[in-house]
Amino acid sequence: MFIHETKLRVRYAETDQMRYVYYGVYATYFEVGRVEALRSLNCSYKNLEDSGILMPVTHFEIKYRKPAFYDEELLIRTCIPELPMSRILFTYETFNTQRESLNTASTELVFVSAQTGRPVRMPALLGDVLKKYF
């Protein structure tokens, strides 16, 4: 299993009238976690796209437990729990500074050829660095 942690601070524009982080913002937070996790593997989204691979999200699921608030620092734990094939699963957990779990989520993305628009197997660029975690 591969695990990466990313910290971010809640901005005012990301909150609703109740001063909670608006529920839809978490999709963006998880994208930040996903991008930074891949970057930590020296396999950025840009590198993948430059090699002709796109990664659209095919599934997103979240379970909310507690709210996050303006100016809180959050920790997004991003995991790749299984070695990808033509799809890659990311799981997430968001924590506040008290290390309370605020939510859990998952996204599934598919590797797609930019040229054909068809699914392809995980590119070696990513597979070579991920294998050591499984």
* Mean pLDDT across the chain: 96
Q: What backbone torsions phi and psi does residue 76 show, to the nearest 5 degrees?
A: -105, 115
Residue-wise pLDDT tens digits, 44-76: 999 999 999 999 999 999 999 999 999 999 999
Q: What is the largest CA-CA distance in the chain?
A: 47
Domains of the chain by residue range? 2-133
| CB-CB contact of 76 with 24 (8 Å) | no
Topology of 2-133 in CATH? Thiol Ester Dehydrase; Chain A (3.10.129)
Q: What is the average per-residue pLDDT within 7-34?
A: 96
Cα 108 vs. chain centroid, distance in angstroms? 9
Instruction: Look up residue 19 and give its DSSP letter.
Output: S
The model's pTM is: 0.94
CA distance 37 to 77: 9
CA distance 112 to 103: 29
Please, which pLDDT band fits residue 100 given cuts at 50, 70 and 90?
very high
Please, which pLDDT band fits residue 3 given cuts at 50, 70 and 90?
very high
| DSSP string computed for 62-118 | EEE-S--BTT-EEEEEEEE-S--SSEEEEEEEEE-TT--EEEEEEEEEE-EETTT--
* CB burial of residue 78 (10 Å; 0-12, 13-18, 19+): buried
Of the candidates 62, 9, 87, 2, which has an alpha carbon nearest to the alpha carbon of residue 38? 2
